[in-house]
Amino acid sequence: NVVMEELQGKVDENLGCEEGKGLCRQRSIQVEGAFGILKQDRGMTRFRRRGLKGVKMEFLLNCLGLNLYKYHLFWLKQRANSLIGKLN
């Protein structure tokens, strides 16, 4: 397939440069970190649902919860910084 070969050439070109290699390494670290948080901190070591549909729902709910938790921490940090700014 000509189109697929062109796309694969573009991917190889992007990953061949130093910036592409750095982005690839950074993405690898970020993804492993999220799974580590879910497994270690949140205790998600096994799925409690059966079937692909149930497992997918459970995983998406856990991811949603993790994102809400991270947003909450971000919001608290922003609020603390604004309160400190008002005191100065």
Structure tokens at 66: 């993790």
Specify the pLDDT at position 15: 85
The domain ranges of the chain are 1-45, 46-88
Half-sphere exposure of 31 (CA within 13 A, CB side): 6
Model confidence at 14, pLDDT cuts 50, 70, 90, reads confident
The predicted model gives 41-52 an average pLDDT of 87
Looking at the chain, the whole-number percentage of residues with pLDDT higher than 70 is 94
- Structure-model confidence comparison of residues 63 and 85, the more confident one: 63
Orientation angle between helical segments 2-16 and 18-36, nearest 10 degrees: 90
Global pTM? Answer: 0.57
Cβ–Cβ under 8 Å, residues 7 and 35: no
